[in-house]
Amino acid sequence: MNPTASTPATVRESARRGDPGVFGQAVLRLLTHETTVDAVHVLSPHFRLVSLRSDAFRRLAHVPGDKVQVRVGGMAFRTFTPFRMGEGDDALGLLGYVHVMGPRRSMDLPAIDRSTVFVGDETSLGLALALCGTPLGGLDTHFIFEVGNAAEVRAVLEAMGRGMLQHAWLVERRPDGAHLADVETALARYAAADAFRQYVLSGQSLAIQRLQRTLRGAGAKPSQMLVKAYWAPGKTALD
């Protein structure tokens, strides 16, 4: 008997747990890297700062705004924007939101060279941290986040200690979405004050679509908008 062959009982147990089959395992070996969870810091009831280590990270080129995909079980992955990954370093930092876990190339943040308005939610904090790691460091960036608990998110941002993020405007989410009207008013004001401003819109897909319409109505061009939807109502995650 081939010692590496799986018995029917083993195959059934593996399928019941949701483990990948032979083909899935081959794909994982080809396309993924094994990492070690170096530390998990509880920043608040809903946020976790996760540090991963792998020798493979030393060989990977990284640009702020790139995304990584983390396998969470079977062939299911979640996407994050790492905000700490130095060239030649074996460490990578991820900021995870417990209820909505959501980043190859995602957004070319270092190419931003003008005044910027960044709008997102809890799933966008990693991207915002990555923006602060660019040469301009988010220096001339206005950060707006729609959040469920402003006090909790404020504490997380202060704990991360990243310059402009500590002055972000936090808009608490309302069930009817009425809070977005305040964000729309602010975006229209920004667009009227600077016709060349850049906009980064991330987070929930429906909110992004609504804000895109607002910006277009205020005269902003599609080329001025960098857009990334991380999730949508009724869906686990988007890539």
Which residue ranges form the domains of the chain, and what is each CATH number? Answer: 109-231 (3.40.50.80)
User: Model-level pTM?
Assistant: 0.65
Report which of 41, 109, 32 is spatially closest to residue 72, judged by C-alpha positions. Answer: 32
Q: Which residue has the higher pLDDT, 210 or 83?
A: 210
Asked whether 197 and 117 are in contact (CB, 8 A), the reply is: yes
Asked whether 205 and 232 are in contact (CB, 8 A), the reply is: yes
| Terminal alpha carbon distance of the chain | 43
Report which of 138, 44, 140 is spatially closest to residue 95, judged by C-alpha positions. Answer: 44
How far is CA 239 from its chain centroid? Answer: 10
Q: What is the pLDDT of residue 6?
A: 38
Q: HSE of 94 in the Cβ direction (CA atoms, 13 Å)?
A: 25
Tally the residues of the chain. 239
Q: What is the pLDDT of residue 102?
A: 38
Which amino acid is present at 93?
G
Stretch 133-153: mean pLDDT: 90
- pLDDT tens for 193-228 read 999 999 999 999 999 999 999 999 999 999 999 998
Tokens 């790691």: give the residue. 133
Asked whether 106 and 66 are in contact (CB, 8 A), the reply is: yes
Q: What is the pLDDT of residue 9?
A: 42
Tokens of 105: 């190339």
- pLDDT tens for 115-140 read 999 999 998 988 898 888 888 878 88
Which element (helix H / strand E) includes 50? strand 47-53
Q: Using pLDDT thresholds of 50, 70 and 90, give the confidence band for residue 98.
A: low
Tokens 């990492």: give the residue. 35
* b (16+ CB within 10 A) / e for 23-55: eeeeeeeeeeeebeeeeeeebbebbebbbbebe
Give the mean pLDDT of the chain: 78
CA gap 99, 220 in Å, rounded: 33
